Chain A
């Protein structure tokens, strides 16, 4: 029995168990158990002694392990966050139509969906077969829709509907792309995986390969939040509960990115790198530009974080397009962005809980009202915009270096310009939230008290981003380097 099957399998079983258990405390405990087991299994894959032979369905190569680590780490932090915090019970849950008894238990659906979400992401990350990966990525959409709709409000319904429809349509296009990719295979070839297609890349038909790549880029790009297909993302991230936003941003977007990378491996083996690179660069810069436009004067701090995710997905794709050292930077950035963005979303959850509003104008004066979360909020802001000493600085700087090394001056210029634009845009909002004196006097009457425990997971995630600058475990570096070389990049 292959250990890899446990990673998607166990959360799935726990998810079903969550449906059967009636006590909320037990469900939260199940979540933690599942997260701990998942993390232990994931970390065991990083041991050099553990060699897992891939079979025809699942694989644990360097790329898979890197992305799995993001998923697993985040889920761990979130499980604890969920344990410590109690989001308000959705107010109008009882107003649901009588027929749907089942949906009148939002907590139960929530806990189970979280587990299914973990299972689906693990499947998407570990699949070797392109079809299985598609199933995993589509399953992540299905499992996360109820999570976005947790609050049972009009807005969350709107967000969940957009999310489900836009992502499903996008992913159907990716499926069409997969059929084209299968078409590009020589007759009689049955092993439909990135590994095997790369091996036989010279036998693939370039025309169909290109068409397939475009369809898959658009399809999975929708899910990844690349502009202009990102429209679902700010809504979903804004409306979902904090820990769901954190998972969506930190783990789910990466899964879709991995879907694109797997096809990119084939493209590269077939010698069509230049074709893909140009598209990647344009898509990356476009996403960054869109994000920087919408971040300015954003009045909702969770949506601000969502647009920042669009920007960072743009950076990742741009890194793939620049190639060489930039691929290493992109791989490092995947991990950094995951932990930092998830931490920020958790922090935003605490702020939201204290103020009851997602408006930047209302949630002000964090310095005095919420000193711990306020400090974390600023730390997270510095980390996400790539200020030293965080590892995001390292990855963003390496990317710039790679762009300059490869003589892409215009790209480098635009990259720096857009990074600074986002920095300035976010800076204005964060400073206002941190130190501007409050305008609404009735808020002053509320006694703000912080639950320190809810700040711990976010602090833990930021600490990882800081730690990575100074010390990275050897096994982690080895995986990072292997992942880079498997994408044709250069390592440090």
Chain B
């Protein structure tokens, strides 16, 4: 249990420190598989748990990474160039976020003893990482990955808090997430063909507040 938690946290740090999209996608798919295994470890070998774990692995570990990899190949984006926060600074902020996550877990008293407090720390850390990536990275595809990591974190928090919604609900949630990321993937194709780039920081035509993002706009 703790091993899986540590691996999840490490994969987030990798995510923060890397500019290579291929690696980031691989990390996201690794997380999907880990979460599936985690569900099995936490819930035991009941049929409903197995269905959930398998669908989580198939959707998050295989299908979504495949889709994102296709999006990446067709848009010819390989690296995240010039993020708002440099990669080494991202890793450092990641460590700070990890500390914050640990602090949060210590702050809140838990009602029922949970399987593993480390797990909960990792879960919060994943949510923070996802949000951090969403805010600091420019490429639409990286933002999608950020959302996926955040969603993995939320799922992981649900698992470690032991909050059992029924299986149908969990499957519904999984399906919603899948369709959401699927839509984002499709939109990446469209953004690419419309704008000839997938940098979302140039997305400010509509804004009422004109923000100048750096000097590169001139």
Where the two chains meet, the residues of A that have a C-beta atom closer than 8 Å to any C-beta of B are 95-97, 100, 103, 129, 131-132, 134-135, 138-139, 141-142, 145-146, 149, 154-155, 157-162, 164-165, 168-169, 172-173, 175-176, 178-180, 182-184, 187, 190, 192, 205, 207-208, 211, 234-235, 238-239, 294, 298, 303
Contact = CB atoms under 8 A, between A and B. Distances in A.
Contacts of B195: 154, 157
B80 interface: no
Nearest to B159: A179
Contact of A165 (B147, B162, B190): B147
Contact of A182 (B161, B190, B203): B161
Contacts of A294: 208
5 contacts: A103-B186, A135-B175, A157-B190, A165-B143, A172-B154
A164 B112 CA distance: 36
Contact of B134 (A96, A154, A169, A190): A169
A357 to B, nearest CB: 15
A310 B175 CA distance: 30
A187 B161 CA distance: 12
A131 B173 contact: yes
A126 to B, nearest CB: 15
Interface string B89-126: 00000000000000000001111100000000000000
A134 B208 contact: no
Interface stretch (B2-10, B26-34, B38-46, B177-185): B177-185
A176 B127 contact: yes
Nearest to A92: B194
Nearest to B176: A138
A303 B147 contact: no
* Chain A CB within 10 A, most for which of B170, B177, B194, B207: B194
B166 to A, nearest CB: 8
B180 A141 contact: yes
A135 B134 contact: no
Contacts of B166: 131, 190
Interface string B25-62: 00000000000000000000000000000000000000
A154 B194 contact: yes
Given A162-B203, A183-B161, A205 B193 contact: no
Q: Could you say which of B109, B172, B191, B205 has the most chain A C-beta atoms within 10 Å of its C-beta?
A: B172
Given A205-B111, A294-B208, A192 B165 contact: yes
A100 B163 CA distance: 40
Contact of B161 (A97, A138, A141, A180): A180
A139 B174 CA distance: 12
Interface of B: 108-112, 127, 131, 134, 140, 143, 147, 150-151, 154, 157-158, 161-166, 169-170, 172-173, 175-177, 179-180, 183-184, 186-187, 189-191, 193-195, 200, 203, 205-208
Contacts of B189: 97, 100
A7 B158 CA distance: 30
A231 to B, nearest CB: 8
Contacts of A176: 127, 154, 157-158
Contacts of A183: 110-111, 161-163
A147 to B, nearest CB: 12
Nearest to B124: A176
Contacts of B151: 172
B191 A157 contact: yes
Given A138-B176, A158-B206, A175-B173, A97 B193 contact: yes
A172 B150 contact: yes
Contact of B158 (A155, A179, A208): A179
A208 B191 contact: no
A172 B191 CA distance: 24
A208 B111 contact: yes
